[in-house]
Amino acid sequence: MSTALAVFVVQQEFSDASWKKSAPVIVNENGATIYLSANEGENLRKVQKAGRQLDNLGIASVQLSGEGWDFERQWAFANGYTDTRSKNKLQWASNAEALSQTRNIVNWTRELINLPPADIYPESLAKRVAEKLESIAPDQVSSKVIMGDDLKQEGWMGIHTVGRASKHAPCMLVLDYNPTNNADAEVDTVLIGKGITFDSGGYSLKSSEGMLAMKCDMGGAATVAGALALAVEQGLQKRVQLVLCCAENLVDGTAYKLGDVITYKNGTTVEVVNTDAEGRLVLADGLLYAGETGAKRIIDAATLTGAAQVAVGNEYNALFSVDDELANKALSTAAAQRENLWRLPLQPWHKENTPSAFADCANSRPQKGGGSGGASNAAGFLLRFAPRDGQGWLHFDIAGAYHNSANAMWATGATALGVRTIAALLND
């Protein structure tokens, strides 16, 4: 006999007087029941909350049972029912192959972000991602890792500068998924991920509380890697390159300092006014690399700014682009994938919002959080390095990627919000 708790969804009025009407799920001798309303958006939130409640009750295994379980309802339940260490067992009601495929990749992404910083450092992040993609498509994936002083030799000064103070050498992973096996095939999309495997803030040192969750600062790298893995498993037939900009932002006598000036491969000079605004420094290298490929589209993801989280909360990711058509496509894709995404302002003049008297620009404003409009100003800094003046470029500031503590929707830790959206954009 199965030991899994049966979970049902029913489209009818809540009627059990022994439970509060606000309860997302009712548990009795027959199993657990989620009562749905006419509002499907609210239904999905309720289903996800029901998953959280069952996890909080210590239910280790469930079977989604009966009619009414479409793909999105099952996925919403799975998001809520996934505990921090991904130990819960879930049997699907339908669409088992597609849901299991998605859940396996999303759980891998979450686990990567949740790993302790002793286990996930620049080289190990690059290695884990390369091994995962190679295991999915061994004949279509090739990769190289540029490490340490080789970054400086090749002109990738942002990554080298940020990571040079750590005993774990900084690196850039360049992974090529080429299903055509034609070396001259055009690159459709370059994915770029911020891979700061631990962020102390550098000399602009974070507080202990602010540093505690900074193992998640490689969430952008994990998100784009997970998105590519999912897209490949779903049958991606376009050439895509993945660029992870990996470093630990630590402090020793060789660390970069306030007032330093970085000269990038394209000649742009950047004054460092905040060593805790390091993500944009490494992403600039990724954008310059993407420009060299001639790719039609460029998508980057990063846990870049606290300002984005202030603007949209931690149940949304923030989107920036000066390409309206592509931005609207991303928003409609996110809506179809039931992932919260909100566009924030970005105009060409945002490039001028981090001025410097000593260089072409600064990496931030010398004030807490980068001042007002900090997320847009960070995106404006990146726009300086985006090819074609930003046409074909999307920047995801993934405010919803990680939760410091559990809430009614998510367990503590990584969410992998954005993986489905970016995978769907690749396969579009």
pLDDT in tens, 164-215: 999 999 999 999 999 998 999 999 999 999 999 999 999 999 999 999 999 9
For residues 215 and 115, the answer to whether their CB atoms sit within 8 Å is: yes
Give residue 94's Cα distance to chain centre: 28
- What's the whole-number mean pLDDT along residues 103-116? 98
**With 60 as the cut, is the pLDDT of residue 404 above it?**
yes
Q: What is the pLDDT of residues 339-359, one digit of tens each?
A: 999 999 999 999 999 999 999
The architecture that CATH gives domain 108-427 is 3-Layer(aba) Sandwich (3.40)
| Measured CA angle at 341 (ends 394, 361), to 5 deg | 40
Q: Known catalytic residues? A: 206, 280
Q: Which residues contact 326 (CB under 8 A, 6 or more apart)?
A: 297, 392, 393, 394
Domain definitions of the chain by residue range: 5-94, 108-427
Asked whether 122 and 199 are in contact (CB, 8 A), the reply is no
State the pLDDT at residue 2.
Answer: 63
**Alpha helices of 242-297 — where are they, by DSSP H?**
279-293
Burial (CB count within 10 angstroms: exposed 0-12, middle 13-18, buried 19+), residue 19 = middle
Q: Which amino acid is at 397?
A: D
Pairing of the two strands 261-263 and 269-271: antiparallel
Pairing of strands 26-28, 31-35: antiparallel
Phi first, then psi: what are they for 247, rounded to 5°?
-165, 160
Q: Identify any residues that bridge with 190 across adjacent strands, giving them in sequence order.
A: 241, 298
Mean pLDDT in residue range 226-235:
98
Sign of CA dihedral 416, 341, 300, 157: negative
